[in-house]
Amino acid sequence: MLDLIHACRDRALSALEFAAGVPGGLGGAVAGNAGCYGKAIGEFVLAAELCGPDGSGRRTVPAGFFEFGYRALANVFATTLGATILVLARKDARVLLGQAPTAYRGIVSYGVRKLRWLGPTQAHFTFERDFLVPSYHCGVFTAALDAVGVRNPRVTGTQVSLLEATYEVGWDG
């Protein structure tokens, strides 16, 4: 891990400094979504090349393969704060998703999140000035829908520009 951080530093690339104290290698850091100081490796992964122990079976997988966002929100819901959020939402997906823009503002200081309801079980989100990849937020939305027990959750994220993405979120009523 430290070799990667030094290679980034030597090329004037920043953002991974937080991981300087994370033990182990890059593969383990990605597999476990290692992090500290409020950052995690999953926030920076766009894709990964996987292979077997002997190097065979090489394939490239998108960041969504690792479900970083899903695990991050599932971990939040396992805390007292997360349990309180679910109680306040009354296991209602519309209530929970309706609070998403406010919740994001409380967690991070950057970006703008907008919600537009398209129907009783369908929403459109726009995230502006957000550096996380769409697969991360797709995982967050899916974990939220699973937490309130909706049937057949559907989440699609589309990168519109470097720092803007849209998300279509829906479920069976």
Sorted by where each begins, the domain ranges of the chain are 2-63, 68-172
Task: Please indicate whether the domains covering 2-63 and 68-172 agree at the CATH topology level.
Answer: no
pLDDT of amino acid 15: 85
In order along its 173 residues, the chain shows pLDDT tens digits of 888 889 989 999 888 888 888 888 888 888 778 877 777 888 888 888 988 888 899 999 888 788 788 877 887 888 887 888 888 888 899 999 998 888 887 777 788 999 999 999 999 999 999 877 788 888 889 999 999 999 999 999 999 998 899 999 999 98
Are the CB atoms for 41 and 34 separated by under 8 Å? yes
> Residue 5 has which token pair?
């951080």
Of 161, 146, 137, the closest CA to residue 69 belongs to 137
Q: Are 48 and 115 in contact (CB under 8 A)?
A: no
Please state, in angstroms and rounded to a whole number, the distance separating the CA atoms of residues 151 and 137: 19
Asked whether 141 and 159 are in contact (CB, 8 A), the reply is no
| pTM for the predicted model, two decimal places | 0.69
Question: Torsion angle, CA of 109/143/117/155, rounded to 10 degrees?
Answer: 110
CB 169 within 8 A of CB 154: yes
The predicted-structure confidence for 11-55, as pLDDT tens digits, reads as follows 998 888 888 888 888 888 887 788 777 778 888 888 889 888 888
Protein fold of 2-63: 3.30.465
Could you tell me the fold of the domain covering 68-172? Muramoyl-pentapeptide Carboxypeptidase; domain 2 (3.30.1380)
Amino acid identity, position 33: N
The Cα 83–Cα 77 span in angstroms is: 6
Residues 6+ apart with CB under 8 A from 43: 68, 131, 132, 136
